[in-house]
Amino acid sequence: MIRYPSVAGMFYPGDGEVLRTEVRELINDAGNKVKAIGLISPHAGYVYSGSCAGNGFGKINIPDRVIILGVNHRGAGHAMAVDGHNKWNTPLGDIKIDDNLRDELIQKSVVFEVDSVPSSEEHSLEVQIPFIQVLNPTAKILPITIGTHDREMMRTGGLEIGRIIKEANDDILIIASTDMSHYISADNAKELDHMAIEKIIELDPDGLFEAVRSNNISMCGVSPTYIMMTAAKELGGAKGEVIEYTNSGYTSGDFDQVVGYLSALIN
């Protein structure tokens, strides 16, 4: 069973060669790549956030196994939904699902369930995949769509992912897909988003959740980010590092109504 692209030709080029060329241009590969436990990556159209995403992907080594935590923008399906497909397709070809990792997680989890409905049209997952395909064509992925703000459920899910990775004794990257503040001025977005970013740097998932909630920060992927940070702490992570923070105004020219974008790694 193959999951075919939902936003190819809209969020990113629908032609394979054009897409490959664009992704390579977006990746800022200056060498000296580092191993990361987690990566925070934006998920708007490449014209807006592709450079920010590329700077993050270009900073780290992409291992052969990658978990992608996305946002359930449509609200359908299970709150902690693990994709059930065998492969995902993009204009660059097919990428295999890590079914062994999926089986282990589902067997031992009390919060995750296999449900392909939330991921079937979810752009926050899909836009990350061409970067993985270009940087590591042999990688397998495990897409997971998060549609809850229940902190206990998220904490449990993060701990479960961390423990599964420990048991696998393998190099597995966790990507949290998120955009930051939505449709406010660039100055206001920067002020609010840096309250959240401060907690990401401190690797404080509960502090992040409280900062977003108490300041009404419209960070759509706070839940995937919380889960990834919780897993990273379980795996011995100590801190976050900002690669780039920017906003859509630099593309649109409109700095009164922007969306903020963040690339950051966790180690």
pLDDT in tens, 111-162: 999 999 999 999 999 999 999 999 999 999 999 999 999 999 999 999 999 9
CA-based nearest residue to 212, from 151, 146, 158, 128: 151
CB burial string 68-87: b at 16+ within 10 A, e below: bbbbbbeeebbbbbbbbbee
Q: In 60-212, at which residue ranges do the beta strands (DSSP E only) sit?
A: 65-71, 80-82, 87-90, 93-96, 113-114, 140-146, 172-177, 182-184
> What is residue 29's predicted lDDT score, i.e. its pLDDT?
75
| Digit-coded pLDDT (tens) for 215-240 | 999 999 999 999 999 999 999 999 99
> What is residue 30's predicted lDDT score, i.e. its pLDDT?
66
> What is residue 227's predicted lDDT score, i.e. its pLDDT?
98
Tell me the β-bridge partners of 264: 40, 242
Are 90 and 5 contacting, i.e. CB atoms less than 8 angstroms apart?
yes
Phi, psi for 255 (deg, rounded to 5): -95, 5
- Give the separation between CA 91 and CA 251, rounded to whole angstroms: 24
pLDDT for 59 beyond 70:
yes
CB burial string 92-127: b at 16+ within 10 A, e below: beebebbeebbebbeeebebbeebbbbbbebbbbbb
| Digit-coded pLDDT (tens) for 84-95 | 999 999 999 999
CA-based nearest residue to 221, from 45, 68, 62: 68
Are 41 and 265 contacting, i.e. CB atoms less than 8 angstroms apart?
no
Average pLDDT over every residue of 172-185: 98
- Give the separation between CA 26 and CA 130, rounded to whole angstroms: 11
Go through the domains of the chain in sequence order and give each one's CATH number: 2-266 (3.40.830.10)
